[in-house]
């Protein structure tokens, strides 16, 4: 097999580097296809023109050839994302760029499925690459020197990257899925519950556990949208508490929207909704100075949610799940929603928990396909994980 490799970059400013990268891909046994993401006139021949890419977003098309760099980079990133979403003629993708180029390339590469080989050589890699990678699996290589012409170092790094991406493309193999895939959300304080579920189901089903740290919830829902996850056992919805109360581990306001869009079976709970996450103590907003805190470690400060906050969390979950057309079943652990919410523990407060449960029950429109069930157990009790398994089993195949 000769793998087809999409080679992306700005051919008006990085033409020499793109040509060298394409040459190295050929040497490695691949077939390169250069896509121009530049705003200006390309300095080298390309296979996919910037007009071809910009055609996917009207604003990008109108900004080609202008000097309005900021808006043009943003618009071209949107166009390239649409292009990559529709493009299915390559086995892997590699890109190069400085600040603007990396922004455009990564916007497109994030649209490729998780598991699809994608690599970027960038001047930005030694810094914070979260804005570029986000919740995708993009591989990043630091260019060390600026990508401003070829030198002995940039040639070696680009050659390594070229051989790496061809190797990734050759190694790519679509797995035949014979087992259903379950997505589960977990936090440290709900680990016993989720671990028990995985242990009970892993011999028959593939269990993907996501850390409920904001990016974890978003990654889980991205895989729901992609069709990879067929059932959610969403034990730990704590990211909603952070979204509503200003914590640092929010998954955004669209948490649960993938379930609404896809209609997959949703078995959920309110794990760790007793807490909001902040960094070190000095990072906690001053408006919360009189609240109840638990100092998990020097970098993590947990704040106990109040009745009012718990009511808002319950209403948020109910409003979202009312929009689901697929089966929904919520289980509420009335003896506590986290390790810290147990008898004798720092966040134990049955009255506050009751505000959460009552608000969710009041807001949820119960139907034959949408249920809410209280259980007299702690979330980490074996009986509670067994109940989640019982509810999930009819949807697993």
- Go through the domains of the chain in sequence order and give each one's CATH number: 4-171 (3.40.50.12020), 181-395 (3.40.50.12030)
Asked if 61 and 34 touch (Cβ cutoff 8 Å), the reply is no
| Total-model pTM | 0.85
Q: What is the pLDDT of residue 69?
A: 81
| DSSP state, residue 261 | H
* Neighbouring residues of 223: CB distance < 8 A, sequence distance ≥ 6: 114, 183, 208, 229
Tell me what pLDDT residue 174 has.
Answer: 63
Neighbouring CB atoms inside 10 A of 7's CB total 28
The per-residue pLDDT for 2 is 94
Q: Which helix (H) or strand (E) holds 318?
A: helix 307-321
**Per-10-residue mean pLDDT, the chain, length 397:** 95 95 97 96 96 94 85 94 94 95 96 94 93 94 91 95 96 70 96 97 95 95 92 98 97 97 98 97 94 92 98 98 98 98 97 98 97 98 98 92
d(CA 340, CA 190): 10
What residues pair up with 293 in beta bridges, in sequence order? 303
| pLDDT value for 264 | 97
Q: How far apart are CA 348 and CA 304, in angstroms?
A: 9
Tens-place pLDDT, residues 226-277: 899 999 999 999 999 999 999 999 999 999 999 999 999 999 999 999 999 9
What is d(CA 112, CA 3) in angstroms, rounded to the nearest whole number? Answer: 17
User: Is the separation of the CB atoms in 337 and 272 below 8 Å?
Assistant: yes
Task: Specify the pLDDT at position 154.
Answer: 94
Which pLDDT belongs to residue 148?
Answer: 85
Torsion, Cα of 348, 352, 358, 364 (10° steps): -90
Distance between CA atoms of residues 276 and 239, nearest Å: 8
């Amino acid at each position: 097999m000769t793998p087809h490799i999409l080679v992306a970059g700005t051919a008006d400013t990085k033409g020499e580097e793109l040509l060298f990268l394409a040459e190295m891909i050929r040497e490695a046994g691949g077939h390169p296809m250069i896509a121009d993401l530049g705003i200006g006139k390309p300095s080298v021949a390309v296979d996919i023109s910037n007009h071809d890419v910009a055609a996917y977003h009207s604003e990008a098309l109108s900004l080609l050839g202008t000097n309005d760099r900021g808006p043009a980079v943003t618009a071209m990133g949107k166009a390239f994302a649409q292009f990559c979403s529709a493009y299915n003629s390559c086995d892997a993708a590699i890109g190069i760029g400085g600040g603007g180029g990396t922004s455009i390339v990564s916007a497109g590469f994030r649209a490729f499925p998780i598991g699809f080989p994608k690599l970027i050589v960038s001047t930005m890699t030694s810094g914070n690459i979260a804005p570029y990678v986000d919740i995708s699996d993009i591989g990043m290589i630091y260019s060390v020197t600026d990508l401003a012409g070829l030198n002995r170092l940039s040639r070696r790094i680009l050659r390594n990257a070229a051989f790496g991406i061809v190797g990734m493309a050759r190694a790519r193999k679509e797995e035949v899925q014979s087992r259903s895939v379950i997505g589960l959300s977990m936090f440290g304080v709900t680990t016993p519950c989720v671990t028990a579920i995985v242990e009970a189901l892993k011999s028959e089903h593939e269990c993907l556990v996501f850390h409920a740290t904001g990016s974890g919830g978003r990654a889980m829902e991205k895989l729901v949208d992609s069709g990879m996850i067929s059932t959610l056992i969403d034990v730990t919805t704590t990211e909603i508490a952070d979204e509503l109360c200003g914590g640092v581990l929010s998954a955004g306001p669209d948490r649960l929207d993938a379930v609404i869009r896809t209609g997959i079976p949703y078995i959920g709970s309110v794990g760790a909704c007793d807490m909001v996450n902040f960094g070190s103590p000095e990072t906690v907003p001053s408006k919360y100075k009189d609240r109840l805190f638990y100092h998990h470690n020097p970098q993590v400060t947990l704040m106990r949610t109040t009745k009012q906050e718990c009511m808002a969390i319950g209403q948020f979950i109910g409003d979202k799940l009312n929009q689901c057309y697929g089966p929904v079943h919520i289980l509420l652990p009335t003896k506590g929603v986290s390790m810290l919410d147990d008898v004798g523990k720092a966040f134990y407060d049955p009255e506050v928990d009751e505000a959460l449960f009552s608000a969710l029950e009041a807001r949820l429109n119960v139907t034959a396909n949408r249920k809410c069930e209280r259980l007299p157990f702690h979330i980490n009790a074996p009986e509670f994980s067994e109940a989640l398994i019982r509810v999930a089993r009819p949807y697993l195949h």
